[in-house]
Chains A and B, each alone.
Chain A
Amino acid sequence: MTLLPLNVRGAVTRRRGKILAGPIDVRLEGMGITIVIGPNGSGKTSLLRMLHGIARLSEGGIEWACPMDEARKRQAFVFQRPVVLHRSVLANVAFPLRLRGVARGVARERAMAWVRRVGLDEMADRPGTDLSGGESQKLAIARALVIEPDLVFLDEPCASLDGSAIREIEALLLEAAASGTRIVMSTHDMGQARRLADEIWFLHRGRLHESGPAANFLTDPQTPSARAFLNGDIVE
């Protein structure tokens, strides 16, 4: 049974009565990378958290193609500020496997393969908390991908990173997408959106103002707010 398509109908997430995102109607399917863009406070983080199921769905429905608990197991989330467990780099990456009951030896082996892939092999036995910002984010991405999820949400994974760290992370994501992992990622960096996006969702004030193939959106946005955003105007 597949995870996608995902059907979202009138989904709203609220906190203390205030709408953080929604109502949102959208369908997620196919392959590739969906980039969520929009100004600060437009609800990008809340939308991703709501879809992933870590923010309460106050209204509407989120329907996966498979049962909910199955769906939860097939996706991973990478936070804007990476959460590093107080254990070694290798143990961090092995952690989600251990949660799923994978035997210690097997988990360590599979984790080590990912630690190598993200280029942290020299740090494998060091405490995870010793890593720099870029390294922590690579650790978080390895930890998300090690369970071979069908879908990964990334919430501005490159915020406060620069240069080579961004390039390495983008390469990892493109590679993951090429091997069949569906990716939904928010960013406020239009350059990054251009480099990665197959599809773009434009959020503004919690609403999905525009969504569609990246090429169409980037060359010919339909809504005034999206046009203003792409022009680099300040959209509030």
Chain B
Amino acid sequence: MNDLWDGLVQAGWLVITLDPELVEITLRSLQVTLTALVIACFIAFPVAALLSVRRFRLRRLVIAVLNALMGLPPVVVGLIVYVLLSRSGPFGVLGLLFTPTAMIIAQVIIIVPLIASIAHQSLRDLWAQYHDLLISMNATQGQRIRALLWDARRALLTAALAGFGRAIGEVGAIMIVGGNIDNATRVLTTAIALETGRGDFALALGLGFVLIGLAVAVNLAIHRLGRTEVEGRW
């Protein structure tokens, strides 16, 4: 209990004094995760819409694989990205290992299946409603996809938030590909792992509370922006 209390006090102190190191790693956490989230959404949403609108032979298989990949173990993703980006790997020349870019790549891989699966669920239901009407109106494939994505925007927001949640709290992959280097690739989760290993539970807990607060704040901000609770049901 004492540790928890110390952690809370520590968290409050870090926040109040705007501890420069805390600010830095918090901003890096946000930068990495939000960048990964935006990229992942640009990939996952069209994929989800295409899977809803188009009938092709391997559709069911693709959906099943996407669903399975929702539970992709981050450590394994980290390992694979590490191997690909390491000096001797195929993308070694790019020199991306142990940079925030590598962390973003790993996070994108982790959250794309999650976002695409959740988005697909709601887009599929909406497509079932719209199917006859859009066909009757001769909407092109692109128009169908755009109509679905626009009209399901609230559900897509939920999918994006799920992706954000998974990415911001993720430690296994970014630890491996980022390396937790001070001033370069250290983020909240890797810092927590480090401080826990060092035995500085109060600081680790403090960082943990900051992380939770950050996740809640981002969710609230996005809901406010999307006016989810204010108007309509979609």
Contact = CB atoms under 8 A, between A and B. Distances in A.
A169 to B, nearest CB: 18
A69 B133 CA distance: 17
A129 interface: yes
A54 B132 contact: yes
A96 B137 contact: yes
Contacts of B217: none
Contacts of A54: 132, 135-136
Given A54-B132, A79-B133, A86 B234 contact: yes
A95 B146 CA distance: 12
Contacts of B147: 85, 95
A23 interface: no
Contacts of A95: 137, 147
B126 A86 contact: yes
Given A99-B143, A129-B233, A86 B151 contact: yes
A77 B233 contact: no
B150 to A, nearest CB: 8
B233 A83 contact: no
A72 B233 CA distance: 33
A127 interface: yes
B138 A83 contact: no
B130 interface: yes
A86 B135 CA distance: 17
Contacts of B232: 86, 127, 129
Given A85-B147, A129-B233, A99 B137 contact: yes
A95 B138 CA distance: 12
Contacts of A85: 130, 133, 147, 151
Interface in B90-134: 126, 129-130, 132-133
Nearest to B143: A99
Given A54-B132, A79-B132, A83-B132, A99 B234 contact: no
A79 B151 CA distance: 20
Interface string A14-41: 0000000000000000000000000000
Nearest to A82: B133
12 contacts: A54-B135, A54-B136, A76-B137, A79-B132, A83-B133, A85-B147, A85-B151, A86-B151, A86-B152, A86-B232, A127-B231, A129-B234
